[in-house]
Structure 1
Amino acid sequence: MKFQFSLKYLLLTIFIFLVEVLIATKLSNVFFVRAYLGDVIVVMLLYTFVKSFVKVNDQKLILGILIFSFLVEFAQYFNIAEKLGFRPGSLMYIVIGNSFSWIDNLCYAAGCLILYIFIKVTNNDRLTSTPNL
């Protein structure tokens, strides 16, 4: 792991964050999008955020994000946001979450799998492509 700033990943982070805000605010009526797609995308947001500042092994990062996501979800089971003193409706209460769901864990896993496949495919394309002469 090495600290290294990446404007590309920071811009991707901002874009994905704006998509998440759009999902939470404007697409809350669309059940599938609000309930599932946001959880699939949030692991990608975490990935791009970390990659904005740190050069790290992709597989280890994706696994770490999956474990972190599971831990946060299981903490919701124990009402961690309330125990930490966050009031319902506050930003941190919303970020941490307030209701445990097994489906959320499946969404996090799906997001990590999609991210893993995307990284593998794009890295293989870079390794196997021949330079233009």
Structure 2
Amino acid sequence: MKLRFNRWYFILTVLLFVTEVLIAAYLHDEFIRPYAGDFLVVILIYCFVRSFIQAPAVPVAVAVLLFSYLVEGLQYLDMVKHLGLEHSRITNIVLGNYFTWADILAYTLGTAFVILVEKLRTARKPEVIS
């Protein structure tokens, strides 16, 4: 693992962040906002990490997934309320306020998608013969 800025992942991070904000602000449906948003958030976090850290895809993706599980676990424990921050809109948006297994599934599928795309992307790179 080494620190190195990657413009491509940073551009993806910005695009995904804008997409997440638009979903949160304008979509109030029962599928895209709750499920696609959670699917995309792990991809967003992955791209953000890869914007600054050069490391193998799978360990970074798994770390992002574990972080997502941690946040969901904190929701299960009602941590926002225990911290006395239940009236903070920002805290409720960032940490969430209720646990669902569907979120766990969405995070897992988003991470699987990242790993699949990274495997396909690296498989398409031509080998350098020396």
Please give the TM-score of this superposition, normalised by the length of structure 1. Answer: 0.90
Residue aligning to 1:23: 23
Which amino acid is the alignment partner of residue 9 of structure 2?
A: Y
Give structure 1 regions of 4+ aligned residues with deviation exceeding 4 angstroms: none
- CA positional deviation for 1:128: 5.9
Larger CA deviation: 78-87 vs 5-14: 78-87
Question: Which residues in structure 2 correspond to 1:1-133 (within 5 Å)?
Answer: 1-28=1-28, 30-127=29-126
3-state secondary structure, aligned to 1:31: coil
What's the offset of the Cα at 1:9?
1.3
Residue 73 of structure 2 aligns with an amino acid whose one-letter code is: F
Over aligned residue pairs, what C-alpha RMSD do you find? 1.7
Q: Give the letter aligned to residue 20 of structure 1.
A: E
Q: What TM-score does the superposition give when structure 2 sets the normalisation length? A: 0.92
Which runs of 5 or more residues in structure 2 are unaligned? none
What's the CA shift string for 1:40-59, capped at 9, x where partnerless? 00000001100111111110
User: 1:27 deviation in Å?
Assistant: 1.1
Supply the AA of the counterpart residue of 1:11: I
